[in-house]
């Protein structure tokens, strides 16, 4: 696999090569993937999990390469981890609404930037695991927030009080 192809993968179509806020720009790749899964895959949850696992397996194997290529640990160009973390945040049984996609973007970015303690611990792992797993953990924090928001705020029409 050539360097350009590796770079295209880890930067998620070169989104991570953005000169400003590459992690935030890279997360937009996750929004696109979730939107496409919602449009074309019958079971959103399964599609999201499969996409995240495939991206993880390939991304994990390219972690050391990306660090050597960029000359630093957890380089900004490596944004496939943001895509995976966003997919974890948006994982749900039904395809999300446009509003949910946008809210999940901000919720995930918040946790990815703040880095809760467990996420920060994951960064200490080496190679691809260390690059990706902190975002996966941040994604689970985001998923918890999104579950509450989707149930009570974003999509309450699916909730019927006093149902028959």
Range of the domain at 79: 22-153
Residue 16 included in any domain: no
pLDDT at 158 over 80: no
Residue 34 included in any domain: yes
Residue 161 included in any domain: no
Residue 4 included in any domain: no
Residue 1 included in any domain: no
pLDDT tens-place string over residues 71-96: 888 888 999 999 999 999 999 878 88
Rounded to whole angstroms, the Cα distance separating 66 from 50 reads 23
**Residue 53 CB-half CA count within 13 A:** 6
**How many domains are there within the chain?**
1
pLDDT tens-place string over residues 102-114: 999 999 999 999 9
pLDDT tens-place string over residues 20-65: 999 999 999 999 999 999 999 989 999 999 999 999 999 999 999 9
Residue 143 included in any domain: yes
Based on its alpha-carbon atoms, the radius of gyration of the chain, rounded to whole angstroms, reads 16
* Residue 41 CA: distances (Å) to CA of 11, 78, 93, 95: 24, 26, 12, 9
Rounded to whole angstroms, the Cα distance separating 2 from 155 reads 44
Rounded to whole angstroms, the Cα distance separating 137 from 131 reads 11
Residue 56 included in any domain: yes
pLDDT at 4 over 70: yes
Mean pLDDT of all residues in 5-20: 94
Q: What is the pTM of this model?
A: 0.90
Residue 40 included in any domain: yes
């Amino acid at each position: 696999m050539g360097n350009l192809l590796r770079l295209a993968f880890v930067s998620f179509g070169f989104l991570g090569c953005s000169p400003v806020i590459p992690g935030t720009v890279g997360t937009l790749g996750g929004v696109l993937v979730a939107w496409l899964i919602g449009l074309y895959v019958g079971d959103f949850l399964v599609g999201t999990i499969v996409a995240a696992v495939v991206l993880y397996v390939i991304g994990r194997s390219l972690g050391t390469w990306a660090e050597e290529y960029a000359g630093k640990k957890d380089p900004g160009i490596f944004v496939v981890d943001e895509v995976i973390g966003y997919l974890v945040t948006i994982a749900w049984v039904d395809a999300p609404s446009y509003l949910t996609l946008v809210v999940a973007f901000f919720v995930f970015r918040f946790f990815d930037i703040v880095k809760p303690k467990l996420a920060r611990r994951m960064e200490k792992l080496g190679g691809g695991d260390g690059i990706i797993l902190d975002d996966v953990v941040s994604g689970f924090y985001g998923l918890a927030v999104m579950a509450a928001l989707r149930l009570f705020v974003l999509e309450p029409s699916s909730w019927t009080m006093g149902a028959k």
